[in-house]
Structure 1
Amino acid sequence: MRVLVTGATGFVGRHLVAALLARGCTVRAVARNVQTAASMPWINDVEFVSADIHAASLDIGALTEGVDALAHLAWPGLPNYRALFHFEHNLMADYRFIKGAVEAGVKQVMVTGTCFEYGMQSGPLSEENEAQPANPYGLAKHTLHLFLQNLQQAHPFTLQWARLFYLHGAGQNPNSLLAALDRAIDAGDVTFNMSAGEQLRDFLAIETATAHLAAILHKRDFDGTINCASGQPVSVRALVEQRLRERGATLGLNLGHYPYPTHEPLAFWAVTERLQQLLGAEQ
């Protein structure tokens, strides 16, 4: 299977490329920064293309020639979820790129969506829940999904929309919770500032998540939305305490230092029955 991966050097992309190679896929990896790409452990095992997929001059036909599937991960500007450029720029630029790929003959497209498409809904969230995005990032992703569903009516193709929940692991944003905690441990800090930590989230290791994404890509008849998550609610405090145990650290937690974020509910997690049924014994 030949897969074109956009955003190949990003947090999800670098791990998805590795997961696809492990499955024996041929990968054409696309990213803007050549130096970042050169530092990837898989750089000699892929066909790397340095390109800005949003550039008007991009030859999409040449970029997608010969591929069986497009795994579209690129999305600039994260983790600033409330910035207007998500729908003022990224939305239409992404739509034009994916539309160009489909018109060039790509028959299977996977796009990474987000749990923020569910908005402020609480509790277990299944793919059957209506999307109610409450920030610009979630709104832009959901609108892109709607645009692509309409594109399917004019140019039939398989669309796999994978909603990612809370991923963690090597290469994550340095300001994310566990990355900041690891820095504090490494620096020998006495305390770590965080929220009260009672919010419930759905956390998944990036290697597991990208193994799921690679497996979904290989289910070539699957068309639809799918939660990519653990399906298990875990409190932020429990996640932090688990990492402290793993690291053998005794750092004190300054609970309540930061307020709870206003752009997400206090408790939500994924229903993963569809993922479990699709992947079955592969999980």
Structure 2
Amino acid sequence: MSKKKTILVTGATGFIGHHVVNELHNKGHNVIAFSRHQKKAELLSWWGKVKFVIADMQDPNLNIRELFGEPEILIHLAWAGLPNYHAMFHYEENLPASYHFIIKMVKSGVKQVLVAGTCLEYGMQYGKLSEETHTEPITSYGIAKDTLRKFLQIYQQNISFTLQWVRLFYTYGTGQNPNSLFAQLNSALDHKDDIFNMSGGEQLRDYLPVEEVAHRIALVAEHPECNGVINCCSGNPISIRRLVEEYILSHGSGLNLNLGYFPYQEYEPMAFWGEGKKIHNLLLKNDENFLREKK
């Protein structure tokens, strides 16, 4: 295993955040879980096993050293208001709040910053999207995330720090927003519904289970040499219809799909998926090291 690190995770009670905290703790790291929601934290599997800090990231009087000590790595996952991708608060509130908090952490001595980006930074581009593909965001959320990345890259000219921009594609699993596709699908399965309403399902997307996303984020955090833009993706496009049908089949359900009930999203191209050379090379290297240690 990599050397034990002290890692601060913002958005620790969120969909991805609570899985990341759990993954880091299981790997033996000293984790500081940061969130505004203590009641949510108390229900999670890592509660009582890691240090928990409740505070508001936007508090101008936030005392970094007093609250967090001296973490070596910041994993910034906090971002309010999802999945409302068009709301202006992403740009007006979330962007400056995240920027100022990250800069405070860098000024306090943090040398490695991992931030969750989004595939929506690519905008309406079709096909395979690599880490070198230029960004063309069209949603408030995508623009805000893309701008944050650019701001931080400019700030690196003032203070040297490692920036790992982990650009997330599509994620599903336990704790997901109840309005998301798979949360609604699970609800239909739990209630033994006869019909599930969805879009035409012909969109090609790139999906990973949240546990795998958390594993990859933790792995990247352990390897500061893997930096810059890092696509967190499967690299394997799959249609939404096929993904849903396979999920239903795996649950032994006879749930029928009402295709075309919802229109396709206007802010997403019909077919796009990721190419993640950096993270795939890191996963390969990690597997090789694991096999070597077992011998």
Q: Same fold (TM over 0.5)?
A: yes
Deviation digits for residues 15-36 of structure 1, max 9, x if unmatched?
0001101111000000001111
Asked if 1:123 corresponds to 2:127, the answer is: yes
Given that 2:9 and 2:75 are in contact with CA atoms closer than 8 Å, whether structure 1 keeps it comes out as yes
Match of 1:275 in 2: 279
Name the amino acid aligned to 2:17: G
Name the amino acid aligned to 2:235: G
**TM-score using structure 1 length:** 0.98
In the alignment, which of 179, 192, 195 is matched to residue 196 of structure 2?
Answer: 192
Asked if 1:18 corresponds to 2:18, the answer is: no
Match of 1:67 in 2: 71
Asked if 1:213 corresponds to 2:217, the answer is: yes
| In structure 2, distance between residues paired with 1:11 and 1:247 | 22
Match of 1:36 in 2: 40
Q: Which moved more, 1:216-225 or 1:84-93?
A: 216-225
In the alignment, which of 65, 80, 97 is matched to residue 84 of structure 2?
Answer: 80
Change (3 A) 1:67 1:130: same
| In structure 2, distance between residues paired with 1:148 and 1:66 | 20
In the alignment, which of 4, 7, 12 is matched to residue 8 of structure 2?
Answer: 4
Identity %: 49
| In structure 2, distance between residues paired with 1:282 and 1:19 | 15
| In structure 2, distance between residues paired with 1:99 and 1:281 | 32
| In structure 2, distance between residues paired with 1:56 and 1:239 | 45
Match of 2:230 in 1: 226
**TM-score using structure 2 length:** 0.94
Asked if 1:154 corresponds to 2:158, the answer is: yes
Q: How many residues align?
A: 283
DSSP 3-state at the match of 1:249: coil
| In structure 2, distance between residues paired with 1:32 and 1:47 | 14
Given that 2:126 and 2:271 are in contact with CA atoms closer than 8 Å, whether structure 1 keeps it comes out as yes
Cα offset for 1:61?
Answer: 3.1
Name the amino acid aligned to 1:146: K
| In structure 2, distance between residues paired with 1:191 and 1:229 | 30
Given that 1:64 and 1:104 are in contact with CA atoms closer than 8 Å, whether structure 2 keeps it comes out as no
DSSP 3-state at the match of 1:70: strand
Match of 2:293 in 1: none
Question: Which consecutive unaligned segments of at least 5 residues does structure 2 have?
Answer: 288-295
Given that 1:158 and 1:222 are in contact with CA atoms closer than 8 Å, whether structure 2 keeps it comes out as no
DSSP 3-state at the match of 1:66: coil
| In structure 2, distance between residues paired with 1:94 and 1:178 | 28
Cα offset for 1:186?
Answer: 1.4
Q: What is the aligned-residue RMSD (CA, Å)?
A: 1.0
